[in-house]
């Protein structure tokens, strides 16, 4: 029996690992393209870029792992069904329930891995990623500048007509900012360049051949003409905020404590939605084999099966329903029992019933009726089109 168990697991591992790697590659490449401009305008660009992407791996792994497991089961059992390997298993006394056991063991292992990833690595990685983005944004304030466009940067508005390729030197620059006491200051200069400052200090821009207009709240403007003038862009970098201002940055332990003791700055509904939503998604992995195995089986008469497509549609719809319920739980419209655990219960019960029915039918395609209905619908459409062509 161990030989059959290892064979089933080996058939699943290939599609599972391939799906995880492809999903991570696509998601990380898409995010890397968005981070290139931000990271490459700072020192140690490649180091910072790869640190950002590394901190995003737990986030994308939490998304890809359940889908990859589901796809792995679908592909593996569908191939075994089409190659009549499941018939051989049955002849050897290995029924569907027995074939499900190694898959359930793998589901338990992946559930524990998902618990660690989503419960601890993901929130810590999200905070580290946001911290790096904040650091790069403050140390490379020109990353968002565009020539000929007004750009809001920190506490000021900037317009430049032209900039050098390294975004360190500018021509015909206009700066408008409001001080803490309400005084507005406007600069216009023929040329400008970023000045080097110490680590943690606010970036400074050096203006040349320009005018400074200071407008107090209760007095007339004061005009100053200068040849050289330096002004800070933003404020001193005093470090990123503490972790935990967002419920998605809290670990499972912190969320569990916050359920009984209010967390500063986060409402009780937000804590409840995040905790129950994460836990429901982790437990959902245990029921993926019950849904995927029946949907992947092709009947003996009909080798074509729509189970893979239907399974992916069900998984996407289930995830959207969980997100919808979590959103309404977060704003307090419904409780977590109704918004999160009710969809989970329907998903778990439906998957279990589908697996139970398939287990006591001799490898019958559970979607055979759907396939037959689709065939009939296709034939009806074709006949209607043929009649339309003849009548025209």
Rg (CA), the chain: 30
CA distance 290 to 222: 76
pLDDT at 72: 94
Residue 217 has, within 13 A of its CA and on its CB side, a CA count of: 6
CA distance 369 to 373: 6
pLDDT at 324: 95
Cα angle 163, 169, 174 (rounded to 5 degrees) comes to 70
**pLDDT at 165 > cutoff 80:** no
| Residue 255 near residue 274 (C-beta atoms within 8 A) | yes
Q: What is the pTM of this model?
A: 0.73
The larger pLDDT score, comparing residue 390 to residue 49, is at 49
Average pLDDT over residues 348-357: 92
Residue given tokens 């290995």 in the structure block:
94
Q: How sure is the predictor about 282, in pLDDT bands with cuts at 50, 70 and 90?
A: very high
Tokens standing for residue 274: 């995040």
Tokens standing for residue 144: 């968002």
Phi, psi of 178, rounded to the nearest 5 degrees: -115, 125
Tens digit of each residue's pLDDT (9 = 90 or more) over 105-129: 999 999 999 999 999 999 999 999 9
């Amino acid at each position: 029996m161990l030989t059959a168990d290892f064979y089933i697991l080996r058939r699943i591992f290939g599609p599972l690992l391939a799906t995880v790697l492809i999903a991570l590659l696509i998601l990380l490449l898409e995010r890397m393209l968005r981070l290139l401009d931000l990271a490459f305008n700072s020192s140690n660009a490649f180091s910072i870029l790869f640190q950002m992407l590394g901190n995003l791996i737990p986030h994308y792994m939490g998304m890809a792992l359940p889908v990859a497991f589901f796809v792995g089961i679908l592909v593996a059992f569908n191939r075994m069904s089409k190659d009549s390997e499941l018939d051989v298993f049955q002849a050897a006394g290995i029924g569907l329930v027995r074939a499900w056991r190694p898959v359930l063991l793998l589901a338990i292992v992946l559930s524990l891995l998902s618990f660690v990833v989503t419960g601890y690595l993901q929130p810590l990685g999200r905070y580290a990623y946001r911290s790096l983005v904040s650091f790069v944004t403050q140390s490379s304030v020109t990353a968002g500048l565009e020539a000929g466009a007004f750009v809001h940067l920190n506490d000021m508005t900037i317009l430049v007509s032209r900039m050098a390729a390294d975004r360190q030197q500018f021509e015909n620059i206009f700066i408008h900012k409001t001080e803490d006491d309400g005084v507005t200051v406007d600069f216009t200069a023929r040329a400008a360049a970023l000045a080097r400052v110490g680590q943690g200090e606010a970036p400074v821009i050096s203006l040349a051949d320009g005018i400074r207009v200071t407008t107090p709240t209760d007095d007339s403007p004061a005009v100053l003409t200068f040849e050289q003038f330096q002004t800070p862009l933003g404020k001193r970098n005093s470090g990123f905020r503490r972790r935990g201002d967002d419920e998605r940055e809290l670990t499972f332990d912190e969320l569990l404590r916050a359920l009984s003791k209010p967390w500063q700055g986060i409402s009780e509904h937000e804590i409840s939605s995040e905790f129950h939503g994460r836990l429901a998604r982790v437990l959902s992995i245990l029921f993926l084999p019950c849904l995927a195995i029946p949907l992947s089986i092709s009947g003996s008469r009909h080798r074509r099966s729509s189970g893979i497509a239907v399974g992916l549609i069900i998984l996407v719809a289930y995830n959207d329903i969980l997100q919808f319920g979590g959103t309404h739980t977060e704003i307090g419209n419904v409780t977590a029992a109704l918004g999160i655990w009710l969809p989970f219960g329907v998903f778990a019960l439906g998957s279990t019933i589908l697996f139970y029915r398939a287990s006591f039918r001799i490898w019958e395609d559970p979607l055979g009726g759907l396939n037959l209905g689709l065939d009939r619908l296709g034939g009806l459409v074709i006949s209607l089109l043929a009649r339309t062509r003849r009548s025209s």
